[in-house]
Structure 1
Amino acid sequence: MTRLIDLYCKALSVLIALALAVMVVLVFGNVVLRYAFNSGITVSEEVSRWLFVWLTFLGAIVAMKEHAHLGTDMLVSRLPVLGKKLCLVAGQLLMLFITWLLFKGSLEQAKINWDVAAPVTGASGAIFYASGIVFAVSAAVIIVRDLWRAVSGQLSEAELVMVKESEEQGELEALQAELAREERTP
């Protein structure tokens, strides 16, 4: 299961890179055409907007898998193992609930906008809301996997705190440790 999720996230990373490249070409090309030739690519703004929304949701899936979401471990890291496990399970259950709400809302909006044509491309407006559906389903799979790993005892104590420190935090702690060493030496 973990290998399948890893492959899925690698494929999403490729799609994100492609979407970003297409967005850059469309927007930059449109700017050049408008200023240099007083014309433009009609679908540029609409497609770029849709790609940006999809890029954001697909990136959120990859971030969810890598536990790169924002958070703080100030309290949880100081709890005993049982406390860390309880907080992790409570957090995962809350995230599953929020994911369900996002899925339900995105699905309803996709149904409502299924027959609504986009102004320029004429494509279905449901494409826009399908990104929320894809995110919700993918995130639910990742959350359930992490929840199972926590409940079944497959996580080490360090993995029970699913927040990554930022690079700045690591650098700050290294500087503080160095200053403490300098203060101790006469």
Structure 2
Amino acid sequence: MEKKLVRILETICGAFLVAMVALLFAQVGTRYILQGSLLWAGEIAVWFFVWITYLGAVILYINKKHIIVDILTTFLPEKVNKTIEMISSVIILIFLLIVFKESIPVVISYSKQTATSIALSKKYLFSSLTVSTGLMILYTIYSFIRKLRRR
């Protein structure tokens, strides 16, 4: 399941990256070749960058590629490490739930505002945090249940 989700997220991030690069090239091209400007292109490119960052964080989380401090756990027995891993999963889940809960009012407050250069609600930008933490919460619960079943 993880591989499928990671593949989907990587595809979305790749599409956003291609769109971001295309928009920036179009913006530069219109500015220097056509002496015009695509004001909205730069802003949407930034939105794509934000989404890539948050979805990329989910990919790293699922693949366990975030930075960890494992100095202590390398010297402890495996049984103790499994207990520490379960406790850290609960702590991570609590943190993610807090971030998720606190991101919802932000999305709601920005839903009434539109982007500077186009008539697009800013909720689409700020919901990136809510979506990414939601995905991490679901994965943490899924991973925690799998670890419990292995015990």
Amino acid at match of 2:109: I
Rounded Cα–Cα distance in structure 2 between residues aligned with 1:89 and 1:121: 46
Work out which of the residue numbers 90, 93, 99 in structure 1 matches 2:87. 90
The corresponding residue for 1:131 is 128
Rounded Cα–Cα distance in structure 1 between residues aligned with 2:33 and 2:94: 51
Work out which of the residue numbers 2, 7, 12 in structure 1 matches 2:4. 7
Amino acid at match of 1:121: I
The higher radius of gyration belongs to: 1
Give me the TM-score of the superposition, normalised by structure 1: 0.75
The corresponding residue for 2:68 is 71
1:73-104 Cα shifts (integer Å, max 9, x gaps): 22112211222012111211111111112211
The corresponding residue for 1:16 is 13
Rounded Cα–Cα distance in structure 2 between residues aligned with 1:32 and 1:67: 40
1:87-128 Cα shifts (integer Å, max 9, x gaps): 111211111111112211211111111111111111111111
Rounded Cα–Cα distance in structure 2 between residues aligned with 1:58 and 1:87: 27
Does 2:28 align with 1:31? yes
- Long gaps (5+) in structure 2: none
Matched residue count: 151
The corresponding residue for 2:44 is 47
Rounded Cα–Cα distance in structure 2 between residues aligned with 1:110 and 1:77: 41
Amino acid at match of 1:105: E
Work out which of the residue numbers 123, 143, 146 in structure 2 matches 1:146. 143
Work out which of the residue numbers 102, 106, 112 in structure 2 matches 1:105. 102
When the two chains are superposed, the root-mean-square deviation of aligned CA atoms in Å is 1.5
Amino acid at match of 2:57: A
Contact 1:107 1:129 in 2 (8 A): no
User: Secondary structure of the residue that 1:104 maps to in structure 2?
Assistant: helix
Work out which of the residue numbers 104, 108, 116 in structure 2 matches 1:119. 116
1:5-47 Cα shifts (integer Å, max 9, x gaps): 4322211111100100011111122123222222121211110
Q: Percent identity?
A: 22
Contact 1:33 1:39 in 2 (8 A): yes
Contact 1:88 1:150 in 2 (8 A): no
